[in-house]
Amino acid sequence: MPSSRTISANGIELFVLEQGQGPLVLLCHGWPELSYSWRHQIPAIAAAGFHVVAPDMRGFGRSSAPADVGAYSIFDNVGDMVALVSALGEKQAVIVGHDWGAPVAWHAAMFRPDVFTKVAGLSVPPPFRGRGRPLDSLRDGGITNFYWQYFQTPGVAEAELERDVALTMRQVLGRGVSDPAALYITEGKGFLGNISPVVKLPDWLDEADIAYFAKVYRESGFRGGLNWYRNIDRNWELTAPWQDAQIHQPSLFVAGSKDSVITGLIGAKRVTELERVLPNLRQKLIIEGAGHWVQQERPDEVNAALIAFLTNQ
C-alpha cells in the first residue's frame, strides 16, 4: 500500500503518495485529477523495484495552491518536480506524466536532461511550439468556443464545476475528454453541458473513486488546476528558447485510440510526427478502444508498457 506525506519543495508544500525502494520514478497527473489517478500504477511499479512518488501537483488536492495566476507557469510546475527530486534525496529520476502532467514531464526532460534520465508521456504528445500564442491562434482560426477559452476568466468555470462536485467528476471522468463534443462550449451550457449524462459509470471507475475525487475537490476547489490553463499563452512565450528543441533521453508515448486529444486534426498529426521531437522514442503504444483516462481505464497494458520501459536499459 502506498503511504502519504507532505514534502516542502520549491517554496510550496506537495502532498505525495509513495511506495517502494529503488530508482526514483515521478508520476505527474493531469486535470481534473490527483495523485490518486495513479492508484493502479504505484504498487505495480514499486513491485518492479522502483521508488514511486506521485504528487498532487501544484494547485491540486492537498498540495499548495498559490493565489497568483502567474504562479502556474510551466517553469513553476517543472521547478516543483526538480525540487521534489532533490527533496527526496535524489539527483535523478524518471518522469512520467498524463494529460497536463505530460507537458510537465516533456518539458522537465527538455529543460533538465541532467535530472530526468527517461520520460514517458500519456495522452498528450510532446511540445511542438507553434508560430504564435495558442489562444491567439485559436481566435485567428475563427474558434471562440474551445474549452481552453472558456477556462480563461477566473471564477466562471470554477462556479460551474464546484456547483455539484460529485456530478462534475462523474461527467468529466465518466465521459469527459474522450467525447470531442465536450471540448467545445455551447453558449449558456458551460463545460459540462455538451457531455451526455453518465447514467452508469464505466467499468474502470466506481462510486468509491468518484467519492474520493469529490471529497478532495470539495476541499480544494478547482481554481488551482484551472490556473494551469490561464498560463497557456505565457508558457508559449517562456519556452521561446526551446523552439524546435528535441528530447534525447529514452522516451515512451501511450494513448487511447478513442482519446479526442490525439484523434483531432492537430493531435493526430503530432502523434505521427513524435520522432521529430523524440529521436530516442522506444515505443508508441496506442491502446485500442481506450479513451483519455488511459492509465485508469487500461492499467494492465499501461503498467506493462511503463515497467518494460523502466527496466529496459
129 neighbors 239 (Cβ within 8 angstroms) = yes
CA 135 to chain centroid, in Å, comes to: 19
DSSP string, 269-281: HHHHTHHHH-TTE
- Phi, psi of 244, deg, nearest 5: 65, 15
The active-site residue, picked from 76, 99, 209, 259, is 99
Q: Say which amino acid occupies 121.
A: G
What gap in Å lies between CA 49 and CA 23, rounded to an integer? 8
Q: Is 300 a catalytic residue?
A: no
Residue 93: phi, psi to the nearest 5? -155, 160
Which domains are assigned to the chain?
3-311 (3.40.50.1820)
Residue 81 pLDDT level (bands cut at 50, 70, 90)? very high
Instruction: Give the Cα separation of 150 and 128 in Å (integer).
Output: 23
List the grid coordinates of 80.
516543483
> Is the pLDDT at 176 greater than 90, yes or no?
no
**Per-residue confidence (pLDDT) for residue 198, from 0 to 100:** 87
C-alpha cell at 299: 492499467
- Quickly state the pLDDT bin for 196 (edges 50, 70, 90): confident
The pLDDT value recorded for residue 182 is 76
* pLDDT digit string, tens, across residues 108-143: 999 999 999 999 999 999 998 888 999 999 999 999
Q: How far apart are CA 258 and CA 65, in angstroms?
A: 32
User: What's residue 83's pLDDT?
Assistant: 98
What mean pLDDT is predicted for residues 65-91? Answer: 98
Please say if the pLDDT value at position 179 is more than 70. Answer: no
pLDDT level of residue 313 (50, 70, 90 thresholds): low
CB contact set of 21 (below 8 Å; sequence gap of 6+): 49, 51
Please give the span between the terminal C-alpha atoms of the chain, in angstroms, as a whole number: 27
76 and 52 in contact (C-beta within 8 Å)?
no
Given the residues 29, 51, 107, 292, the one annotated as active site: 292
Quote the pLDDT of residue 267.
Answer: 86
Bond preceding residue 127 cis, omega within 30 of 0? no
pTM (2 d.p.): 0.97
Strands (E) located in the chain: 3-9, 12-19, 24-28, 51-55, 93-98, 116-122, 251-256, 281-287
Looking at residue 177, its pLDDT comes to: 61
Active-site annotation holds for 99: yes
What is the arithmetic mean of pLDDT over 242-267? Answer: 93
